Structure 1
Amino acid sequence: MTIGYIYIKIACMNNFIKNKRQTVLLGVFVFGLLVITASYKNATPPGFKNLKVLPTTISRDSLHDLMEGYSAALGVKCGYCHAKSSSDPKRLDFASDDVIQKTYARHMITMTQNINKNEFNFEKSNRPDTINIVTCGTCHRGNKDPEAFVAPEKD
């Protein structure tokens, strides 16, 4: 063996160790970023504030569809239950509880959920929140103030 051969072997070994160290450090760095990103994503709520009756895990699309259903069932627009934003009156502040109709709506949502869960859960479903026999539209039928039933006169 010559000195040149040994020198080349040592140089190659040093590069290998240096590259291996860099590769390991890069791997640890990437793994750390993945862990931080995953934990941040899981810890971040969908962004809805002040959901008291509806599940906080509800998706944006599901919440939007549900609210459109409530609007149609009562024949109203979003501003019937949601207050105007104090910073921009052209927008709504969905988290605000300043409009009393929102409180009434929460009571009515709870009422229909309880009726469906307790009276129409024939299969004893473990997801009674998906039972929708009784809805806002059952009574309201497109009117914000449901019409009172008047029994027909007897003949």
Structure 2
Amino acid sequence: MHHEMPKPTNLQILPKDISTKDLMAVMHDFTGDLGVHCTFCHEVNAQTHKPDFASDAKHEKVAARVMMQMTHEINTKYLAELPHHEHAEGTEHEARVSCSTCHQGHPEPPKFTPPPEEHHGPPPAPPSN
């Protein structure tokens, strides 16, 4: 059963005139990118037992706003300065980060552990002339 979503309030980062469809797409991306449900960021109303989307009670929601600003700045300020490159198929690829870049489907970004080295010791010295 699909319920009508209330008109969004307390939007601080997303455009205040964002359509419900676009807002839901953004929220769906968050849930997939972090492997969470709505209530990870949104407080549940004790009386209705439904998410209180306007509430800022959870620190995860406040953190999400900071992360949205961070990824926007990385994409528009820093990555925009990188030259575009082509994929093997010949299509141009623009570097872009999103929540999934670091979170990879986890609420907290997983710690990166490099794969074991294939060789032992330092690389060989260059040949002498």
2:107 counterpart residue number: 144
TM-score, L = length of structure 1: 0.60
Q: CA deviation at 1:74?
A: 0.2
1:53 counterpart residue number: 13
Q: CA deviation at 1:53?
A: 1.0
* Counterpart among 104, 113, 116 of residue 72 in structure 2: 113
Structure 2: tracts of 5 or more residues without a match = 1-5, 83-93, 121-129
Report the number of matched residues. Answer: 102
Cα distance between partner residues in 1 of 2:27 and 2:8: 13
Match runs of 1:6-155 below 5 Å: 47-89=7-49, 91-121=50-80, 133-154=96-117, 155=120
Higher fraction of helix = 1
TM-score, L = length of structure 2: 0.71
Cα distance between partner residues in 1 of 2:65 and 2:55: 13
Determine which structure has greater relative contact order: mean sequence separation of CA pairs < 8 Å that are 6+ residues apart, divided by chain length. 2
Root-mean-square deviation (Å): 2.2
Q: CA deviation at 1:122?
A: 5.0
Consecutive aligned runs of 4 or more in structure 1 exceeding 6 Å deviation: none
Call closer, same or farther: CA 1:71–1:147 in 2, change over 3 Å: same
Three-state SS of the structure 2 residue aligned to 1:86 is coil
State the identity %: 36
